[in-house]
């Protein structure tokens, strides 16, 4: 996914500065202003505002002025212009915050679920594993006895954790039989060798 970060300007208000004269041609009521809000965006989704820009032009002599070139009186009139609260400018920040909250919540829920499931292994459970050599893979539990579990390891390894789930296909479990005692399984979990346990929803049962 490609992210584009940058700033954009949005025209939020235009108007005329009343009862003031142009510093150049001295005509009254000819100064027009345009106020822009500059905001940062992430792939065109606005994140937060970073400043305001003001453009002033005389409709009579067409001279353009910077804010600093204007009299204190005109500057203060510009400062008191009512601007709408543009909440939309924070859209991206809200989305990012929600995404972050969801990800953190999900992480802890999964961690919690794994800690429960690992104590009560069931036939059919799929374990996502992290090996000490840095690779990832999974294994499926074939049989559970009083103190041991019998598994088949996946024929394939993954390089990245998010690829592990894609390996979980029936035809990928052939003949890599590995047995663990229940204590070894817990040890593996406490050494962060078990990332996730997938149990079919109908079998979700936290009793025992
Ligand atoms: Zn003018």
What strand order describes the sheet that includes 31-42? 5-16, 31-42, 45-58, 64-65
Helix (H) or strand (E) holding 19: none
Sheet containing 176-181: order of strands: 176-181, 148-153, 136-144, 126-130, 194-198
pLDDT score recorded for residue 200: 81
pLDDT in tens, 75-94: 999 988 888 777 888 898 99
Q: How far is the CA of 34 from the centre of ligand 1 (A)?
A: 16
Q: Which bin fits 11, alpha (ψ -120 to 50), beta or left (φ > 0)? A: beta
Residue 166 burial by CB count (10 A; 0-12/13-18/19+): exposed, middle or buried?
A: exposed
* Contact in structure between 199 and 122 (CB atoms under 8 Å): yes
Centroid of ligand 1 to alpha carbon of 52 (angstroms)? 24
Q: What is the pLDDT of residue 43?
A: 84
Instruction: Give pTM, 2 decimals.
Output: 0.55
Question: How many A from CA of 25 to the centre of ligand 1?
Answer: 4
Biggest alpha carbon–alpha carbon distance for the chain: 97
Q: What does the pLDDT look like over 159-195, one tens digit per residue? A: 998 999 999 999 999 999 999 999 999 999 999 999 9
User: How distant, in Å, are the alpha carbons of 15, 165, 199 from that of 152?
Assistant: 73, 16, 16
Distance 126 CA to ligand 1 centre (A): 77
What pLDDT does 206 receive? Answer: 53
The structure tokens listed for 51 are: 């400043």
Q: Give dist(CA 196, CA 109) in Å, integer.
A: 11
Ligand 1 mean position, distance from CA 202 (Å) = 78
CA distance 76 to 54: 13
Kindly tell me if the per-residue pLDDT of 59 is higher than 90.
Answer: yes
Distance 14 CA to ligand 1 centre (A): 17
Task: Tell me, in angstroms, the distance from the centre of ligand 1 to residue 82's CA.
Answer: 25
Q: How much distance in Å is there from the Cα of 21 to the middle of ligand 1?
A: 8
Whole-number Å distance between alpha carbons of 196 and 128: 5
Tell me the pLDDT band of 156, cut-offs 50, 70 and 90. Answer: very high
Residue 11 CA, ligand 1 centroid: distance in Å: 23
What spacing in Å lies between the alpha carbon of 63 and ligand 1's midpoint?
6
pLDDT at 208 over 70: no
Confidence of residue 204 (pLDDT cuts 50, 70, 90): low
């Amino acid at each position: 996914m490609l992210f584009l970060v940058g700033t954009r300007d949005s025209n939020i208000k235009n108007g005329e500065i009343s009862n003031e004269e142009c510093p150049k041609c001295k005509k009254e009521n000819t100064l027009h202003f345009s106020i822009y809000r500059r905001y940062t965006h992430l792939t065109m989704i606005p994140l937060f505002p970073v400043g305001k820009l003001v453009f002033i032009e005389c409709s009579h002599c067409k001279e353009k002025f910077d804010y600093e070139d204007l009299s204190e009186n005109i500057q203060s009139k510009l400062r008191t212009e009512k601007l709408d609260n543009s909440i939309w400018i924070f859209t991206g920040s809200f989305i990012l915050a929600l995404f972050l909250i969801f990800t953190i919540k999900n992480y802890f829920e999964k961690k919690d679920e794994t800690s429960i499931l690992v104590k009560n292994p069931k036939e059919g459970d799929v374990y996502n594993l992290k090996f000490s050599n840095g690779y990832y893979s999974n294994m499926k539990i074939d049989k559970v006895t009083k103190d041991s579990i019998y598994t088949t390891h996946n024929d394939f390894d993954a390089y990245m954790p998010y690829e592990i789930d894609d390996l979980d296909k029936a035809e990928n479990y052939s003949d890599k039989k590995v047995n663990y005692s229940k204590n070894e399984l817990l040890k593996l979990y406490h050494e962060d060798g078990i990332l996730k346990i997938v149990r079919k929803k109908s079998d979700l049962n936290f009793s025992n």
